[in-house]
Structure 1
Amino acid sequence: MPHKRTTRIAAVAATLTLGVALTACTGNTPQNTGGGTNQGGARVANDEPGKKVVIGFSAPAADHGWMAAITNAAKAEAGKYSDVELKVVEGTNDVNLQISQVETFINDKVDAIVLLPFDGAALTPVALKAMKAGITVINVDREFDSPFAARSTVLGDNYGMGVSAGTYVCDRLKGKSDAVVAEIAGIDSLPLTQDRSKGFADALSGCGLKVANRVAAEFTVESGERAAANLLQAARKIDAIWNHDDDQGVGVAAAIKNSGRGEFFMVGGAGSANVMREIKADNGPHKATVIYPSTQGADGIRLARLAVQGKALGDLVEVEVPREVQLFAPVVTKDNVDRYLPTAFES
């Protein structure tokens, strides 16, 4: 779940200024069949059928919208390729069961395993075992403890989420030095939550603001409603709220509605379809959300296929797929919401 922060605030802010939403693996899209060129000048035909690739896929239980979207996107992506056979096991939050699932993939001699571990550290030994058995492992979202446990890793950007949210808040509150900014975090003990909060605080400091009121929830609807109710009771005036997670945001929205408050605007987190629809309609407190891509599982499927077939990313000169792909955390507003709605998840 948590992963190391690999971006600095200056670099993220520069990317935000460009307004370019970077995504992984775009060189494999159908309209780009044939891809780019490798170092020898040969065409890279990413989407042309090749050697059959059997991929095992395992992820935690789909107990909220984002996680359900991860698995659904992976299945849909695999279905686009006639040379991919996907074996999906039931999602589980039982570490021992997930280890057993990977062991079964190893015994079945699959070509690749795309694994979003419930606990990256706990799944590291079995991922190492798979790699030693010659199976290509693609690690998704929650990093293993060893760089040798995966051929490639696909990550979101938790720190970048905070920077994106804070930069948007700064832009909206420009010149309002006494603005009251509130934050509804996720689980405080998790490094991913800590990274998001750090990025948010760093971005706010750049415009002379800071978080005045902060509460933590647990990434659930119930905890979001409870945390938001506590926040609204404690703070009589708020100008802006950043909520880390749109799934818990369903409860946050309920608490706001019950309070009758409406003097502030909200920025969501993760990028759910229901929040994006509210942004598009412009009829609620949400004016933006920051994406934590639920396409990571699908990107893992593409990388696994390319790695096993010895292909590269069509938009890169390198002849191998990268060791790590970190996805961007763009801000979705009314101006660009139509671009992101098609890949949004339902909370």
Structure 2
Amino acid sequence: MTVLDHKRLGPPALDVIPHPAALDLSAVRRDVDAALATFLEAKEQSAPGPELPPLIAQLRTFLTGGKRLRPLLCVCGWYAGGGEGDPSPAIRAAAGLELFQAFALIHDDVMDASDARRGRPSAHRALASAYTANGGPADRAEEHGLGAAVLLGDLALIWSDELLHGASLTVRSPEQVLPLLDEMRGEVLYGQYLDLQTTGRLSDDVDTAARVIRYKTAKYTVERPLHIGAALAGATPGVRPVLSAFALPLGEAFQLRDDLLGVFGDPRETGKSVLDDLRAGKATVLMALAVQRASRREMRSLRARFGRRNLNERDADVVRAILESTGARQTVEDMIRTRRDEALTALDHTPFPAAAVAALRDIAGSATARHA
């Protein structure tokens, strides 16, 4: 693996692992992609029957084009936690986190009835199309696609567990890693359930919307991958609060940006319709702020459109105008900037290798100033 340039930057500081010159995030992505490809190829070869490889092929397609944010953070956590030498345990765990994300997204698209993901048909839509293309009756296609997508997500979850447990067993202290995996899975499912409970309700409850962000995204997307990587490196539990001080505000900023892109983004870049969140009635911080500040007339407009499955582009323009006029959009932009700055400040006095800190700063910038 070629993740790091291992030239030293002079004598190491006391109690800090010697600093590598650079952490190549592009190389981390390539290594994770290679680990996923090798793993899925082995699963295809050992499939119990000819029906499974096409399902695996759909999973392979689904994995194409993701940001790989969780894997990158896992590997950064490994180096921040003192990892040196062969990073293969961190790469394997990072690949497992990407499979877990595939599970979460496939099921999320089923729950949200989303038609697209990453510029392609969502898994349940693709599986429905494949069913009819192979001679299945058209009147059963949607039902088949939903059922097959649930099973595909389950398969990704099971295989994620295989990769993550395999990685933890290669290190000296697996008992530090496995509880973090359990906590991560419980937290994200709690966040997903909170999201499900609040969806479709036009509410001014910013606190609950923020709690959804904390559990569905901040802890799952940023904090736990860093913790898991550090635990794989054998870092003491005392490292976790330092990582959390960076991770939680960054994770919140990441989701706030996602919420803005869900309404104001360019579908050619995001790969998803800007109508999906409004049609689903996502109870975001963005929407809660607008409800707090909307006039009576604006509230009537929101109630007539928010969460409507037949919402069209003209309706969406009306909602966007309210999000602008109430200042909700600008407030969320300000919140993103404040949280990004808080995350970056948390890195100013960490004991982590300079290369890991530089990589985390790069990730913070790209995660919050993105268009997709």
Normalising by the smaller structure, the TM-score range is: under 0.3
Higher helix share goes to which structure? 2
Higher-RCO chain (CA-CA 8 Å, sequence separation at least 6)? 1
Question: Which structure's residues are more often strand, by fraction?
Answer: 1
The two structures have a TM-score, normalised by structure 2, of 0.25
